[in-house]
Every structure is written in structure tokens, then in C-alpha cells.
Amino acid sequence: MEQFDLYIDGAFHPGAARFDSRDPATDAPWASIAEARAAEVDLAVRAARRAFETGAWPAMTASARGKLLLRLADLVQEAAPELARIETRDTGKIIRETSAQIAYVAEYYRYYAGLADKIEGAHLPIDKPDMEVWLRREPIGVVAAIVPWNSQLFLSAVKLGPALAAGCTVVLKASEDGPAPLLAFAKLIERAGFPPGVVNVITGFGPECGAVLTAHPGIDHIAFTGGPETARHVVRGSAENLASTSLELGGKSPFIVFEDADLDSAVNAQIAGIFAATGQSCVAGSRLVVHEPIRERMLATLAERAARIAIGAPCEMETEIGPLCTRHQRDRLHAIVAASVAAGAKLICGGVVPEGPGNYYPPTVLDCTDVPDAPCVKEEMFGPVLAVTAFRDEADAIRIANDTAYGLASGVFTRDLTRAHRMIRAIRAGIVWVNTYRAVSPIAPFGGHGLSGHGREGGLAAALDYTTVKTVWLRT
Ligand code: NAD
């Protein structure tokens, strides 16, 4: 079995205990993982605290920090095949996707490397002739970055990049499911030459490792990605020392298709929108909201396209859908599909647990037009399951789109740009994609509201969120 250790204060650490990580395609244990419990969390936070307050990190200039981030980006790029192999093996995410996403991870580090020396303060024109008043932008302190199993390298890059650019130090907690890619990434932190304690990478189980980390008095800010229920624990933990939080949570994103849309383009985007990452994506376009006159045609085309999707071993380049990360996740998904069918949703395709090893689940489409409150319409599935609801007119489309407690992403497909503008204004979500879906860039902020959380990742604003303002008054 391959071995993966914690990385604390510039050294690899065997952990309090070890647990096995299973290959989601075969169910076989393949890696031995070091587990952080309360003592290792404490070591990591103290190391980050020391690195923030003394030593090389506070003494380093912003441009020197930027150069380190640039070096990290190059190392990520060089190590991409190995990181992709490990992420695919540990999480079941297909190799095509892990390879493509790691290229993006390097881009995010490059973007924040460039921003490090562009985080500026300001001079204030106060109406007192004998006073100089200015604002210094200072790093917020020690950051706890907590990520879920899907896309751990990417979800940590959108936290580490801005946090390090701003001058913070970090304890990064990988999920207990599929933690190997982040523990492997820790070797690149060491090779890039970050001073000890600046980045610490740990993993462990949520109720112990996560809970101790979020409530630790040495933490100033928590950047969390995960589910809303866990977020409530995180916020309660943050109350201990009133750490600030940013929360990137789930979604139940509407994918709205009008009769006048380019249907080929809409179907392609919908297939990728829901089935990419085997549906384990916070921005999955998991609710198709379709104009009634084209409902039958869309359903038939989606079923035909879903039947052609190559389901297989995640390490094969031709595979388009791999296994879900955990057996628990597949069981949960199937239970929601079964409850929705029992409630009256029509199964258009999929919905059957395949025989054999691995956490596989087929691409599934359910027509819920007659049961708009079916569980698969309301709950985040985090799997390859699409719930379809038809609408009569624009007002109906807006009502259905906004009938959710989440507010992360949304898609609108129409050739009528005037209508597109009205939809952009009316939809309650952090992202609106028009005639496209899933586009991301380091430059563009990303995040939601409601049950989807608060705060934004990406862009300059994310780096500013890792700073605090100091107001200076100087009598001249
Ligand atoms: P999760 O909430 O179960 O776990 C996320 C992380 O929180 C893990 O590292 C876990 O160990 C940790 N954790 C668990 N209990 C904790 C506690 N009491 N205190 C502190 N930390 C704790 O999430 P998951 O089920 O692994 O991931 C799926 C969820 O993540 C979905 O809801 C999905 O939509 C969301 N997600 C959001 C985004 C986004 O950017 N908005 C991106 C990807 C995933």
C-alpha cells in the first residue's frame, strides 16, 4: 500500500493513528493514511501561529511570497501526472478530469502569485491639516482551510493561493475521504521552499480533527467548503474565538432552457453540467427547468445521450463516468432516487444500482414536473442525477428556479438577450451562466448565498478577504 503522512511545521509526521483509504472503483484498500487527532491539530496550529508571528514569513516581502507561489505553480504543473493518478485512485474522479483540473490548479497559484504585491492600502484625505491618515492591509492571521473530498487540490488552491498571497499562514485539512492527493501535494510545499509552519497539511475525521481545528484559539479565519450541516458545526466552532468564516457550501442549481435556445448547445452543456465529476460538484446543474413545448424532445435526447456515456474504470482515458467517492454517498443517492420515484417522479433513465464492485451509479434522469416537491428536486444529490421540471412561461421559470434554499449557480439558455437580462436580474444565485455552463477563471469570483454559504473565492476580492485593515493616524 502507498503511504501518505501529515505535513506539520516543515516535516512529515506519521499521525496519531493510521487508516486505510479505499479505491472507489474496486473497494480495495490502496493507501495508508496518517490521521491527525487533537494533539496533531494543536501542533499544526501552533506551528502556523509561530510562522505567522515570528521567523521568515512576516519578514518576507510580498513579491518574495509571490515568487514562492510561482514556484509552487510550476511544481504543481510538473507533478500533474502523479497528482492526477493519486486523485483518480483515491476519489474515483476520472483521469481526464483530474488531469485537466490540475492544469487549472497551477493557473490559480499563478494568478495569486501575481496578486501578492498588488494588495494595496490607501491614503485618506482627512480634513485635519496636521494629520496623515492611511490604511494598511495586513494579513488576517492563521487560517484553517477545510475541504471536502471532491476536487481537493482545486478547492484548496482557491484558499491557499489568496491566503498566502495576503501573508497568512495555513492549516489545511483534507477530507478523510480521498485525502491522498493533498498529502502528496504537501511534498510540493516542502520543495517550493515555504518556511516551516507556513503551510501545514493534515487530515482526520470531521468530529475530532475538524472540530478541534475550527474551535482552536490559534485560528483567526476559517475557509470552509463542504455541506451546510457541517458548516453549522464549523460556525459553532468559530464562535469559540470569534474567528471569521467564509463558507462555500452546496447547491441545487437550476439549468433553465427556453424554447428558442440552441438546443444542441443546451443539451451538451446540460450533459456536462450534471454528469461531469460524476455529479459530485457543488455547481452541478442538477435541476433542468425546461420550457414545456420542448420537454419531451429534451428528455428523449438526454436519455439517448446518457445511454452513450462511457461508464468505467476512472484511470482509463476514455471513461466519462467513474464511481462515486464513497459507498455511503451511493446509498444515500439511491435512497433519494427511490423515494422520488415512490412520490411519483418518472424515471427516464438510470436509477438502478449496478452489480459488481465499486461505487458506480448510472446517469439518471427523473421527470418531476407533476411532483415539484419530490426529494430529488429539493435535496442536493451530489451524484449523476438530474431532476426535470417543465415551466409554462418566464415568470413560471423564475419561480421554479428560485424555489430552493440554495443559491450557488444557475444557467440560462435562450437566444433572446433581452429575456436573458431579465433572467439575470431575477435569479437568486451567486453565478449566472448564459448560454454556457461551468465556466470558471481565477479572475472571476465564485460563491453563493442562502444554504450555499457566504464569501467569495477567486479574484482580487478573495485575497482581500484574507486581510484586515489597520487605520493609522499620524500627527505631523
Ligand atoms: P462535509 O461537509 O461532510 O465535509 C467537508 C469537510 O468538513 C471534511 O474535511 C470533513 O472532515 C470536515 N468536517 C466534518 N465534520 C466537521 C466538523 N464537525 N467540524 C469541522 N470540520 C468538519 O462535505 P462532503 O460531504 O465531504 O462534501 C460535499 C459537500 O461539499 C456538498 O454539499 C457540496 O456541494 C459541497 N461543496 C461545495 C463547493 C463550493 O465551492 N461551493 C465545492 C465542492 C463541494
The complex's ipTM works out to 0.94
**Per-residue pLDDT, 454:** 97
* 295-312 as b/e: b if 16+ CB within 10 A: beebbebbeebbeebebb
Sheet of strand 2-4: strand arrangement: 2-4, 29-35, 17-22
**Residue with CA nearest ligand 1 atom 11:** 206
- CA–CA distances in Å: residue 300 to residues 11, 268, 297, 386, 429: 56, 14, 5, 14, 29
**CB contact at 8 A, 448 and 422:** no
pLDDT of res. 55: 76
Q: How many CA atoms lie within 13 A of 253 on its CB side?
A: 31
Of residues 19, 394, 470, 435, the one with CA closest to residue 265: 435
Q: What separation in Å is there between the alpha carbon of 230 and the centre of ligand 1?
A: 6
Kindly list the averaged pLDDT for each block of 10 residues, start to end, along the chain of length 476: 97 97 97 98 98 90 98 98 98 97 97 97 96 97 97 98 98 98 98 98 97 98 98 97 96 98 98 97 98 98 97 97 96 98 98 96 98 97 97 98 98 98 98 97 96 96 96 97
Residue 150 Cβ inside 6 Å of ligand 1? The answer reads yes
Nearest CA to ligand 1 atom 35: 226
Question: Ligand 1: which residue has its CA nearest to atom 40?
Answer: 248
Tell me what pLDDT residue 382 has.
96
For each of the domains in the chain, give its residue range(s) and CATH number, in order of start.
2-249 (3.40.605.10), 254-434 (3.40.309.10)
Model pLDDT, residue 220: 98
CA of 118 to the centre of ligand 1 (A): 31
CA separation for the pair 39, 34 (Å, rounded)? 13
Cα–Cα distances (Å) from 459 to 281, 440, 441, in that order, read 21, 11, 8
The number of the ligand 1 atom at minimal distance from the alpha carbon of 204 is: 11
Closest among 263, 281, 464 to 386, alpha carbons compared: 281
Q: Which ligand 1 atom is at minimum distance from the Cα of 448?
A: 41
Is 318 annotated as catalytic?
Answer: no
Tell me if 73 CB under 6 Å of ligand 1.
no
